[in-house]
A = this chain, B = another copy of it.
């Protein structure tokens, strides 16, 4: 049986989740694709930390070159986070002829053009499903099944932390600071929540979503952006009285050929499909000229949902590059 060899950059939440998702279904996909997946090397920060018992310690390395330049490795899966050195590693891996999968929305959003152009030049596949809305298979839908459409509107609730905070404020009438503190204690929000609550994370995701659905790349720092720190209980009560719910919405709308985009809190009418998406759930609502209105809802974060998307990309590349065409 043919073996496809993978190198994994990073073994935190996303990398570990992907590893777990792949292991859980190993047998199933080997049977289906007629190809075996071997994880040859995993890049970590330190070799001193105790890792999973079922992985041979010699698999771990602290030297990225052991993965990027290894001629045996077919696919490099990047789950390190941070813009650099992740981008440099991905580009280098492509130049070595390796397919690249990433879950790193900041790196992709900031360097979309160079990454996609380099992949094209070196004839390798570049996949990023896990970057946007975690486990929800939205990017594949847009680039594959829905490609016969011209998109008119793409709206998303793309950050679980802020959606959780807004949901709790709306449901229990608790002020922002109190809910944030509670979310931090429960592990739903980071100790430094800036990227989430200021909409920076969402802007990265919207940048990728727009590039794929409208073919227009906008650098994430050029997307008009407003987070949820300014949302008051008065705003929420006012929206409620008007039959509306406040959500942090990433929006891209084609207005007669002019793409309008923003990340900001929006009071959605309660009968809008996105208004009912609560707590840590993510959702994407879109309109295509053929398909009409579609909505996708699911978990946008977490090790396994993200691992599901990341693993799906890896399996898809395996199928395209070595196994059966699915």
List the interface of chain A (C-beta within 8 A of B): 17, 20-22, 24-25, 28-29, 32, 120, 125, 129, 135-137, 140-141, 143-150, 215, 273, 276, 288-299, 302, 304-305, 307-316, 320, 324-326
Contact = CB atoms under 8 A, between A and B. Distances in A.
Given A25-B148, A325-B320, A299 B293 contact: yes
Nearest to A302: B292
A28 B148 CA distance: 9
A311 B140 contact: no
Contacts of A141: 137, 140-141
A315 to B, nearest CB: 5
Give the copy number.
Answer: 2
A324 B119 CA distance: 11
27 contacts: A17-B290, A24-B148, A24-B289, A24-B290, A25-B148, A32-B147, A32-B215, A136-B294, A137-B294, A140-B140, A140-B145, A143-B326, A144-B326, A147-B316, A148-B311, A148-B312, A149-B308, A288-B308, A290-B304, A290-B305, A290-B307, A290-B311, A291-B304, A292-B299, A292-B305, A295-B295, A320-B320
Query: Which 6 residue pairs across A and B have the least CB separation, nearest first?
Result: A148-B311, A137-B145, A290-B308, A135-B291, A291-B308, A294-B298
Contacts of A150: 24-25, 28
A294 B283 CA distance: 10
Contact of A148 (B22, B140, B273, B299): B22
A297 B295 contact: yes
A125 B296 CA distance: 27
Contacts of A137: 137, 140-141, 144-146, 294
Contacts of A302: 292
A25 B148 CA distance: 6
A295 B296 contact: yes
A296 B296 contact: yes
B292 A295 contact: no
Given A25-B150, A308-B148, A308-B149, A135 B294 contact: yes
A164 to B, nearest CB: 15
A215 B27 CA distance: 13
A325 B325 CA distance: 12
A52 B284 CA distance: 36
Contacts of A147: 25, 29, 32, 311-312, 315-316
B144 A140 contact: yes
A305 B292 CA distance: 7
A149 B292 contact: no
A144 B144 contact: yes
A262 B233 CA distance: 47
B308 A25 contact: no
A60 B307 CA distance: 48
A296 B22 CA distance: 24
B297 A292 contact: no
Q: Which of A125, A150, A289, A297 has the most CB of B within 10 A?
A: A297
A183 to B, nearest CB: 19
